[in-house]
A and B are shown apart, each in its own frame.
Chain A
Amino acid sequence: MSRLHSRHLLGLEDVPKEDISLILKTTDSFREVIDRTIKKVPTLRGITVLNLFYEPSTRTRISFELAEKRLSADTVNFSTSTSSVKKGESLRDTVQNIEAMKIDMVVVRHSSSGAPYYLTKCMDANIINAGDGAHEHPTQALLDMYTIFKKYGKLEGLRVVLVGDVKHSRVIRSNIWGLKTMRASVALCGPSTLLPYEAEKFGCDMYTKMDEALDGADVVNVMRIQLERQQSGLFPSQREYTNLFGLNKDRLRLLNKNYTVMHPGPMNRGVEITSEVADGANSVILEQVTNGQAVRMAVLYLLSGRKEEGE
């Protein structure tokens, strides 16, 4: 098996185990490339990638852009905020115009759930979801999984706790699907106002008490808390959030010995995670960033040149 089942990466919900394994395996070889002095391979020479960012994201955009450049792809960037686009040209017209200039792949970040799927109906390019609404952020989950895999040599059987705004987090959703496919045990933890309706149907353990969630866990992946959720009344104050759900040194004692601390960034230090923990010996937060580039290179590589099969 050396090909993915789909020619797009829209989310992890329907990605089978062998595809995830293939991506993780392929990531290994690209991880090695970015440690070289000359961090560049000719793999995607002649391929043009459009980075379509309808929602600002410095980190994800830079990570993808570097991944593309290191694969020798040609890149074009298009960024705008949804609000300004709403008044003007439709998404279909925008991308069809750009595609007319011969684009092979599109990396899309959008505030609307399902926008990457919609793009597959508008154009022929291979579509990679770089985060859509509160739906999925598959490459982030893949890099999280790769990081865990590198440390433990496996994913199966590990207990992973995802802490934070489950309701609005696309990173959490992609992590749930990916980790469950790889047979890790997944727990969700957050204030009950941020645990969405019928989230138990994801098949994860659910907690509103941080200490219970962390008890016996191997990995804790802390999500950034969006401070505007406080304004919209989903939790009463940052202070209370930190008391109830902040990851601090005391709470680390509940975890298994060889525990791992993760955060997709950017961090609100002192809110969802203390600096001491974020910078501690078991934190892999910066490794996640490095691995992110390798994962994205792997995904771009595996999806490139997959035009022939109509879907």
Chain B
Amino acid sequence: MASKKYDMVIKGGRVIDPALGFGKDAYVFIKDGKISKIATPTAAVEKEIKSLDADQIVDATDKLVVPGLIDIHVHLREPGREAAETIESGCRAAAAGGFTAVCCMPNTTPCIDNQETVKFVQDRAKDADARVYVVGAVTKNIEGKELSEIGDLVKIGAVAISDDGKYPQNPEIMRRGLEYARMFDIPVMQHAEDQYLSAGAVMNESYQSTRLGLKGSPPVAEEIAVLRDIALCRFTGARLHIQHVSTRQAVAAIRAAKKEGVRVTAEATPHHMVLTDDEIGKEFNTNLRVNPPIRTASDRDAVIEGLVDGTIDCIASDHAPHQDEDKDCEFDLAPAGMIGLETTLALVKTYLIDKGYLAWADAIRKMTANPARILGLPGGTLEEGSPADITIIDPDKKWTVKADKFFSKSKNSPFIGWKLSGQAYMTILGGRIVFKQ
């Protein structure tokens, strides 16, 4: 077959690329898995399209065409808990949610603290429906005791390190992690939780935990952890990325640190921007058990404020699959975590864009350019020559979250039954359609 001029053209949509500062009706041309060009519709361009086969043309009328979304905080559970999720199923969920790239956390079994496990994940991810970037462990088996071989991890492709799920309790270890990571100019991603203060906790400490008689984790457990590591970050000059910010005081601490010039970035999840701990009381729904916990309305509002003013750089799902069998139990016996890849975009649209907190371009920036910048990932833009990772969004599509529609192997979402607006219409990975509504 003779080589074509283009493999695919997306026409009729509104193209938004915050990295390029681009936002208008345009055609996106794809060739050899890369973005060939973005062109505004002129007679010449129309003519060019006419020469193409019909099956090469994607009609994106009334839709948004944006760089493939990037989620820098997901748990794919493989290796170790393949019944909850696999790299393959997780990536399919990512594609269905409009994500073309995910960063997977190292708290698997075995833990991603060595080259073999990184390699294993990379191999499994080769033909998956999303790009998988590996985050290695800061300490061996995320035990907070000895540094893992971070140099080795970086060498084979780890883009950052994190002990997510746990927080290195010993400040000396965290200092070394930051200093060591600085050599490779990768950020240390941090799950902020002083585990002395949060011991045994299963929800936020608030009037709700008081009312329900459930052990609460005080918001100060997060604040202290964030403040400690900001201090270490300032001292070492390393890069710190705070994961799933959930409290008002943590947002304030990050805002102040950024103002001062400390090299800190932050992410927040949709669930911390949409839910409050009042929800738990109604039904003790174990899908509302997450770590960090869903906090109060004041914390939720502060997280949104932080997102709006740039204190929080990006939106990440903290997709944490658990099987029904594990979540179908008493609240305090349930494991923490909810899935998020397939609801993030719609929650952002319904609760942040529709409510006037973010414009589409801001929201897209926080799910494309910003995460790519923080971790130095390729993509996050439609710039000519970049990989053709593209998400086409149906911006006002009304839909109801249904458990049996999830591609994730696990269905642990508290949003099941919710009516949301906005959905991925098509997800394109390296020029290949990996998901279509």
Contact = CB atoms under 8 A, between A and B. Distances in A.
Interface of A: 13, 86, 90-92, 110, 112-115, 117-118, 132-136, 167-168, 170, 173, 196-199, 201-202
B210 A201 contact: yes
A31 to B, nearest CB: 30
B216 A197 contact: yes
Contacts of A113: 212-214, 284, 331-332
Q: For chain B, which range describes its interface: under 10, 10 to 19, 20 to 34, or 35 or more residues? A: 20 to 34
Nearest to B282: A117
Interface string B313-335: 00000000000010011111100
B212 A135 contact: yes
A98 B374 CA distance: 55
A301 B218 CA distance: 42
Nearest to B208: A198
Interface string B287-328: 000000000000000000000000000000000000001001
Nearest to A54: B330
A167 B218 CA distance: 14
11 contacts: A90-B325, A91-B329, A92-B329, A113-B213, A118-B331, A173-B213, A197-B205, A197-B209, A198-B210, A201-B210, A201-B211
A134 B331 CA distance: 13
A86 B333 contact: yes
B120 interface: no
Nearest to A137: B213
Interface of B: 205-207, 209-214, 216, 218, 283-284, 325, 328-333
Given A90-B325, A197-B218, A201-B211, 11 more contacts: A113-B284, A114-B330, A114-B331, A135-B212, A167-B210, A170-B213, A173-B211, A196-B209, A196-B210, A197-B205, A201-B207
A117 B283 contact: yes
A112 B206 contact: no
| A-B interface, 5 closest residue pairs, ranked by CB to CB distance from nearest | A134-B213, A114-B284, A112-B330, A135-B213, A198-B207
Contacts of B284: 113-114, 117-118
Contacts of A91: 329-330
A13 B283 CA distance: 14
B42 to A, nearest CB: 61
Given A90-B328, A113-B331, A134 B214 contact: yes
Nearest to A167: B210
A168 B330 contact: no
A198 B277 CA distance: 14
A115 B205 contact: no
Contact of B213 (A117, A136, A197): A136
